[in-house]
Every structure is written in C-alpha cells, then in structure tokens.
Amino acid sequence: MSFGRRRLSRTVAAALLLLAGVAVPAGPAEAAKRGPDLAVDASGTRIPLGVERKVVYLKISNLGDETPGDVVVRVRQPQEAPGPLPVALIWHSGGGVGECDGDFGGFYCRLLPELVPGPGETVDVPIDATVYGAAGPHEGRFEASVTIGPDKDANPADNTRWFPLELVDQPSADLSVVARDVKQSVRIGADGTPEPTGTLKPGETGAVWHTVANQGRKAVSGVRITLRLPAGVTFTGQPAQCVLADAGRSAVCTYDSLTLVPAAEDTDPNDTIYSAVELFNLVTTAASATAPVTLRGGTVQVEGLAERPTDDRSTPARTKLPANAVAVRVPDVDHSDNRDGFAVVLAAKRGGDDGGVGGGDGGLPVTGPQAGLIGAIGVAALAAGGVLFLVARRRRMILVIPGDERPAA
C-alpha cells in the first residue's frame, strides 16, 4: 500500500472518530422498558355463616411500564373432601368482566379490553362466593392466577397466589369498599353527578368513585369514610359531611344518616332501603405535574358507626351524632375489604397546549438536554462534512503509477 493511501485511511478514520466522539455522548438516554408486570391479590375472602352469597374481589395490578394486549384470570379450588364444596367460587353473575367459562372449582375470564390495567393501574375483578348449607365454620383456600399474551410478563413470580376462603361464625355487619382509578376529567351534570369529558390532564378535575356495600348479617347505621390522595392531587368541592386535612390531601367523611342493610334484605330496587351506595369526591390535579404519569398511593377506608336491628324499619335513621358522643365501631366480619387503593392517571396534553407541563405520546421518558443533542448533531455534521471534503480533494490530487507502487514492508 502506498504512503498516500495510508494517509487517506488515517484521515477517513479520524473523520469517523470525530463524528462518533461528538455525536454519541450527546445523544439521549431512553429509559429501558421492562414491559407489563401483572400481580394478583384478593379481598373479601371471609364469609359470615348465614350469608348465602358474597362478592369477592381479585385485584389485578400492573407494576410494569406497558399495557398488555390480553389478560386472562383463572381461579382454581382444590377438592379437599368428598362431596360439594362448602363455599364455591364462580365468575360474577352481574357480568361486565369479559368472556368467562368453566364451572365451580375452576374457571377463567378473559378481561374486556377496557378492564386491562395500564402501567400503575389496578382493576377489581368481582367473583361470586356461594355457600351451600354449611353447618359450621370452614377453612378453605383457592388459587388465583393471571396470564398475559402475546407479551411476556416482566416478573411471572407474582402472577399466581393462594388465598384463604373461610366461613366464620360472626353474625355481624360486613362492610366492603371498592375504589376505581381516576382516569377521566369530569364536569357536574344537571343531576349533580360527575360526567366524564375525556382523559384527565394536569390542572383538571376528576372524581374518586367508591362503592360501599354491606355483605354481612346486621345493618349499619352511619358510615365513616377516610380518603387519602396521592401527592400532586387535592380535594375540591367537598360535601359538608367531609373534613379536609393534610393540605387538602386527606378527608374524613361522616354520613350519620346513611343506613346499609344486609344485601339479602335489599330486595326492592325502588325503595329507599339500601345495602350498597356509590359515592364520589371531586379532586383536582396539580397544573405543574409532568404527564403522562400515574400517581399512586390513593386509599379509601370505610367503617360503620353503630349497629341497627335489621327488622326495625319503623324507626327513622339517625341523622346527627350529639356533640359529646363518640362513635362506636361496628363489629365487621372481614376487614380485608374495608380498605382499597386507587391511582390518578394523568394523560399528556396535546400539541402546543401543554404549557410546559409535559407532552408526548405516552412513551417512556427521554433523559438528557434536547438542546445539547441538537447542537451536537450540528457540530458533528459540520465537522464530518469538512473532513470528508478535504479527503475528497486529497484523493483527487494523489497520482499512483502502477510501476511505482511497492508492497509494504
């Protein structure tokens, strides 16, 4: 190889090194994706003797950073003794879960697309626990699992768990609460209830919806609900029954006149006797929040204030506690379903209306200053162009005569 060609190769190599040295360090570092990561939990698995049916909830949470395309929930009960199961699980008779198949002792449900949890979200899947004439307490168990497809779960270790399923001799009330994730902005409609207006964005108002039900054997007169919001979210427009604290992030709402009878006694949908109610609290998200983001850590907890005889329909419900009275907590069969969590999911603003809050299409965050990246690319392009121009000129000026070329030593 001639000396001219060696100089040409070195020059080209220097240009490539210059291009790499300038451009690569300034490039953005995109956060590594883990993919979807589903986990399963359960609440409401203790049933008082004398109750024929109770709704148990499977809680499917997505701990990952992607939404799976397909989710299947499976439930399996081992046959621990000959004969029918004292308590048998089957998919919820009210529907609204998805495509379900199977029988007592083992079934599956393919969740509806709108129920598949996104990153940081949790969905509550109801299943029915039916009691078949058990004469006494019983301790059983069941297995719940969740699978996804065609994606791969980032941590399959928490996809399957065993849970107790018990019959207990406690003739008490059994309150439960289920809270939805807050994903929609709302406005108050003509009937005074929130109406969704689109995905929730920074600075907008949403609603924490939560359902309180009595699935026990005694009625409850008076209900107290304690709510706590994630950081970056505050209560707004609260009813008079609620007292705010923690700079507007927590609320204690006492509904003295609210009576909830056992579900078995709530037989007429047109009367004013209720076994379950759905409540809402308006919340506002911080305008300075960066979106898209899921704000986790919201909780709702419920407790009864006093027991009420289930056959006493003539006595009006108590409307107000005396100023010197202290509410006595009602015995509750199953405390596992008295508390539920929720998240507040913020979507990015579109186009130029983000006001510096944050934008994007919902992908992973990109780190590193964008201005530096653009400048580095420009410098690299100029440097590489100049060097390659010189290389081209030198190549045209080199004259190599075949007879003069010598092999390199």
Supply the pLDDT for residue 95.
Answer: 86
For the record, the structure tokens of 89 come out as: 């699980």
Give the residue-averaged pLDDT of 193-207: 95
Tens digits of per-residue pLDDT, 11-53?
444 444 444 444 444 444 445 568 999 999 999 999 999 999 9
Q: How far apart are CA 222 and CA 353, in angstroms?
A: 45
Secondary structure of 210-228 as H, E, C letters: EEEEECCCCEEEEEEEEEE
- Read off the tokens for 235: 């209560």
CB 29 within 8 A of CB 365: no
Least confident span in 46-60, 369-383, 394-408: 394-408
Q: Which helix (H) or strand (E) holds 202?
A: none
Higher-confidence position of 270 and 379: 270
CB 89 within 8 A of CB 75: yes
Q: Are 123 and 81 in contact (CB under 8 A)?
A: no
Nearest residue to 178 via CA among 245, 231, 127: 127
| pLDDT over threshold 50, residue 8 | no
- CA-nearest of 131, 225, 245 to 176 is 225
The pLDDT tens digits of the residues spanning 211-255 come to: 999 999 999 989 999 999 999 999 997 788 899 999 999 999 998
Q: pLDDT, tens digit, for every residue of 106-139?
A: 999 999 999 999 999 999 999 999 998 777 899 9
> Predicted confidence band at 349 (pLDDT cuts at 50, 70, 90)?
confident
